[in-house]
Amino acid sequence: MKKLTILLIVLILLSIVLAGCTNSAQKTPEAEKAEKAPTAETSDELKWPDGKTIQIVVPFKAGGDTDFHARTYAKYMEKILGAPIVIVNVDGGNGSVGSIQVRDAKPDGYTALFFHDSMLMNKVVGVTDFAHEAFDVCATGIMDNSYIIAVNSKSKYKTLDDLIKDAKENPGKIKYASSVGGYTYYVGRKLEELTGADFNIVDAGGGADRNAALLAQKIDTNVNPYGVMKPYIDSGDFRVLAVFSEKRSSLFPDVPTAKELGYDIIAHRAYFLAFPKGTDQRIIEKVANAMEEVSKKPEYAEDIKKAYCVEPAYMNTADTKAYLDSALKEFEDAKDMILGK
Amino acid sequence: MLESFAIGAQAILNPLCISLIIIGIVIGIIFGAIPGLSATMALALFLPITYSLDPIAGVVLLVSLYIGGISGGLISAILTRIPGTPSSVATCFDGYPLTAKGEGPKALGVGIVFSFIGTIMSTVVLIFMAPWLARIAIKFGAYEYFSVALFSLTMMAGLSGKSLVKGLISGFLGCVFATVGMDSIASVQRYTFGNVQMASGFNILPVLIGLFAISEILITAEKAKHAQQIETIKVDLKSIRGFGFSLKEFFEQKWNALISGLIGIGIGILPGIGGGVANVLAYGVIKNRSKYPEKFGTGIIDGVVASETSNNAAIGGALVPLLSLGIPGDTVTAMLLGGLTMQGISPGPLMFKEHVDMVYAIFLTMIIGSFAMLFIEFYGLRVFAAMLKIPKQFLLPGIFIFCVIGAFGVNNRMFDVWTVLLFGAIGYAFNKVEIPAPPFILGFLIGPLMEINLRRGLMFSQGSFLPFLTEPISALFLIAALLVIVYTVYGEYKKQKSAIVSK
């Protein structure tokens, strides 16, 4: 019995060590050596992915929304591309550490980055000195346009008008939760600018922390994607005042858009895939097509609806580029506002 | 309630889930026991695998890894003075001196049994009081967190060892190093020297490994240069009976265990603090209320009991806000949340109604997992203790390799490896000038928490400090902090006075 236990432990240990070895063997050449050898294939036929592992870097920890969307995409893309896809989490600097790792990787199509609008925000606030132009952008898999503004059900605000009116009458008293330089901070400042309301914009942590703060009425209002607040909306603890999208969502059609209430503010976040600069255009096209195929799968739609209450929204390479260009311009124009000046 | 248990039992009492629990516990213990690998890493590694399992089986595996990983840290802490995870820092203080006295197996036995008790205590609290406790936890806002953090920092005194001043130097250095990187409110870069890698700051795991593991390896290597042979600690494996300690000793610890358990649960419930602080805090409190505080650090089981009960109790505590509010308290529960979300389950107010099977499957996993942990570690005890027979010149280089691999695994980047080496050098320097390292860790963990909540609080109050004093919960902790400071300073004064008199 004793020997068996030892044997078992040794075996497991050994397997862990071995697993570690194979893993690092895959990573080091791509991740560490930043040599930019032009590897664009000269032959006419594209030999990619050739069954080799494709590494998608998620520049955040495992378990968040970006990680979820990348993994869900990977799950379906593996089958279409016929190659294994591994997700590598490289957290740090609000996504900039992972971005740099991919930017400096070999442009051979085996390393890609899955990121969202924060890449642009990082440039605007000065965390990095580059945005999507440093990459070969592939396509957008998801466009989260489910940003809603909500209050505690016990609060006196029944409509968005109530809230704005109160914020005008009591300047600096209504607590709007957001982190400086974050996307929802920008939305809050835009709302102020548009309506002349004056919020007290306070930092109350990430999505889950803000839910708790709103539940305890330590803050008055909160903007976040619908999925983040969904459990509390379903339980009746939160009241949704509006969604900042072009048209009502089919997943929560009862919620009016801010636009139809007379506040023309649109908020969204695109989750896109990008390759290092210099990657073969045919690879990018192939992956973009695979992403389009995934976005049409009903199982996929079901997965993302269940987890984050969003709908698939595919944008091809050209559209994604155009979207990112205009979003970057929008953020840059509003730089002072975003920096809280 | 019984009905709910039946639903949970139905969900997990099958060969797959039971074997997943055992596999999870064993792998968790291994990850916890090897310095450099941690519970967080075990979950990160297995998270993708759970996506292909059904929701319940996946979460069962993750919870088992969590329990095993937190408990496993005691092994290396006791045997080599290197904490396997941040949760077992305080276990070293008395665990290793016990080993040095030749009582390693006893220390291990105590650690194992009280890990078990801590987990069970917190599970009971979780089962019966989770939604109610969650409602209390959300009353803690920025003001309250600031005061709790300040109170926790006063425990530095208890960790300082011989010199209070040196302890404070260490603690404040910890706070300073924690400021490196982007500040968490306005994204201002501090001490990054324009380096993007520095912008994300130092991760706790490489810092911990460096300070404790690398410095220990350096010191041993240095000693070996001067001595002919590194002394191998003697341990008599044949005389180990049961868990290596008596029933009388067990009952002497009942109050210690209860208090440590409650501290663990309480700290666990407050999101953002976690087991890394719980063990240190419990150790400080138990030492302060002990009749013989001077014996702490010399190898008494009280210290091991405090640390190991509280860190495992923090598990159940951390699951309270996770399940009933959807708030992860630390990196490990953040992974768990990811695992649940991936399966389409969003924890929150409706969790206990809509996902009864999942909730009770988790409860049962904790109970079954605790027993599995107890049995596996009971049989493993002799194996662990036998590790001491491995000469250090073979054991430590092995540990060194794992430290580097583990550091790289934190974030898949080399920067963390350099961090380990940097803090190894700092730890070595600390040792030379006799500055204790534990207050550094406390400062490193608590400093940022205190800063962010002070700044958040001031944003809420638009610049007024008054709410910190007038909010009742906040005021309570500030008074407690003040009392500890006064008590410590008075004790120090008395000590110095008697030292002068005796001269």
Number of domains in chain B: 1
Identity at B198, one-letter amino acid code = M
Can you tell me the distance from the alpha carbon of A271 to that of A145, in angstroms, rounded to the nearest whole number? 11
Mutate to test the interface with B, among A202, A228, A302, A339 (most CBs of B within 10 A): A202
Inter-chain residue contact A208 with B197, CB threshold 8 Å: no
Q: Which residue in the set B187, B349, B455 is minimally distant from A232, CB to CB?
A: B349
Question: Does any domain span residue A159?
Answer: yes
Q: What is the mean pLDDT of residues B271-276?
A: 77
Mutate which of A9, A15, A68, A303 to disrupt the B interface (most B C-beta within 10 Å)?
A: A9
Judge whether B118 and B442 are in contact, CB under 8 Å: no
Total Cβ atoms within 10 A of residue B472: 8
Q: Which residues of A touch B414 (CB under 8 A)?
A: 32
pLDDT greater than 90 at residue A112: yes
Mean pLDDT of A157-175: 94
A79: nearest Cα among A49, A124, A58, A108? A49
Closest residue in chain A to residue B343, using alpha carbons only: A307
Whole-Å CA distances, B361 to B5, B48, B339, B349 = 8, 20, 15, 18
- Classify residue B133: in a domain, yes or no: yes
What backbone torsions phi and psi does residue A253 show, to the nearest 5 degrees? -65, -15
- Which residues of chain B does A1 touch, with a Cβ-Cβ cutoff of 8 Å? 379
| Dist CA B363 CA B8 (whole Å) | 8
> Region A308-336: what's the mean pLDDT?
92
Do residues B66 and B109 touch, judged by C-beta distance below 8 A? no
Cα–Cα distances (Å) from B191 to A45, A339, B182, B429, in that order, read 50, 20, 9, 21
Poorest-pLDDT segment among A129-133, B262-266, B493-497: B493-497
Phi, psi values for residue A186, rounded to 5°: -60, -45
Of A62, A203, A227, the CB nearest to B338: A62
Say if residues A320 and A272 touch (Cβ distance below 8 Å): yes
Domain containing residue A113:
55-144+268-338
Tell me which residue has tokens 């091991």. B304
pLDDT at res. B232? 63
Q: Can you tell me the distance from the alpha carbon of A72 to that of A271, in angstroms, rounded to the nearest whole number?
A: 12
CA atoms within 13 A on the CB side of B454: 9
Grouping H, G, I as helix, E, B as strand and the rest as coil, residue A53 is coil
Within its chain, how far is the Cα of A86 from the centroid? 18
Q: Is residue A286 part of a domain?
A: yes
Place of tokens 């953040």: B334
- Asked if residue B42 belongs to a domain, the reply is yes
Contacts of B335 in chain A (CB under 8 A): 62-63
What b/e string do you get for B8-21 counting C-beta neighbours within 10 Å, with b at 16 or more? beebbeeeebeebb
In this structure, is residue B171 part of a structural domain? Answer: no
- Out of B185, B334, B462, the one facing A172 most closely (by C-beta) is B462
The pLDDT value recorded for residue A136 is 96
Is the predicted pLDDT of residue B158 greater than 80, yes or no? no
Dump pLDDT digits (tens) for B1-21: 788 889 889 889 999 999 999
Does A208 reach chain B within 8 Å, measured CB to CB?
A: yes
A139 plus A169 within the same structural domain: no
Among A8, A218, A237, the residue with its CB nearest the CB of B349 is: A237
Mutation target vs A (from B327, B403, B415; most A CBs, 10 A cutoff): B327
Of the candidates B435, B332, B371, B432, which has an alpha carbon nearest to the alpha carbon of residue B86? B332
* Residue A11 located in a structural domain: no
| Same-domain status, A62 and A139 | yes
- Is residue A68 less than 8 Å (CB to CB) from chain B? yes
In contact, B446 and B277? CB cutoff 8 Å? yes
A127: nearest CB among B184, B199, B379: B199
Domain boundary among A206, A228, A243: A243
Interval B225-248 mean pLDDT? 69
As a whole number, mean pLDDT of residues B300-312 equals 94
Query: Would you call B350 and A235 a contact, using CB atoms and an 8 Å cutoff?
Result: yes
Nearest beta carbon to residue A208 from set B328, B380, B459: B328
Residues A140 and A155 in one domain: no
Quote the ipTM score: 0.84
Three-class DSSP labels, A267-289: CCEEEEEEEECCCCHHHHHHHHH
Q: Which helix (H) or strand (E) holds B107?
A: helix B104-137
CA B214, CA B219: separation in Å to the nearest integer?
Answer: 9
3-class SS letters over B234-293: CCCHHHCCCCCCCHHHHHHCHHHHHHHHHHHHHHHHCCCCCHHHHHHHHHHHHHHHCCCH
The pLDDT assigned to B235 comes to 64
- Percent of chain A as helix, strand, coil, to the nearest 5: 45, 20, 35
As a whole-number percent, the residues of chain B with pLDDT over 90 amount to 46
Residue A183 CB neighbour total at 10 angstroms: 22
For all residues of chain B together, what is the average pLDDT? 88
User: Nearest C-alpha of chain A: how many angstroms from B350?
Assistant: 6
Domain count, chain A: 2
CATH number for A217: 3.40.190.10
Do A233 and A294 belong together in one domain?
no
- Tokens (6 digits) for B131: 């939604």
Residue B231 included in any domain = no
| Co-location of A201 and A63 in the same domain | no
Instruction: Examine the domain organization and report whether A128 and A161 are in the same domain.
Output: no
Q: Are residues A231 and A299 in the same domain?
A: no
- Long-range contact list for A259-264, CB < 8 A, 24+ apart? A261/A159, A261/A160, A261/A161, A263/A160, A263/A164, A263/A191, A263/A194, A263/A195, A264/A194
A272 in the same domain as A138: yes
Residue listed under structure tokens 């709410």: B467
Confirm whether B470 is domain-assigned: no
Maximum separation of any 2 CA atoms in chain B, in Å: 72
Sequence-distant (6+) residues with CB within 8 A of A75 are B51
Residue B179 lies in a domain: no
Question: Is A41 part of any domain?
Answer: no
- Asked if A212 is an interface residue toward chain B (Cβ–Cβ < 8 A), one would say yes
Q: How confident is the model at residue B400 (pLDDT cuts 50, 70, 90)?
A: very high
Instruction: Kindly report, residue by residue over B176-187, the tens digit of the pLDDT.
Output: 999 998 887 777
Q: Is residue B308 part of a domain?
A: yes
Please name the residue ranges forming H helices in B433-471.
Answer: 438-460, 466-470
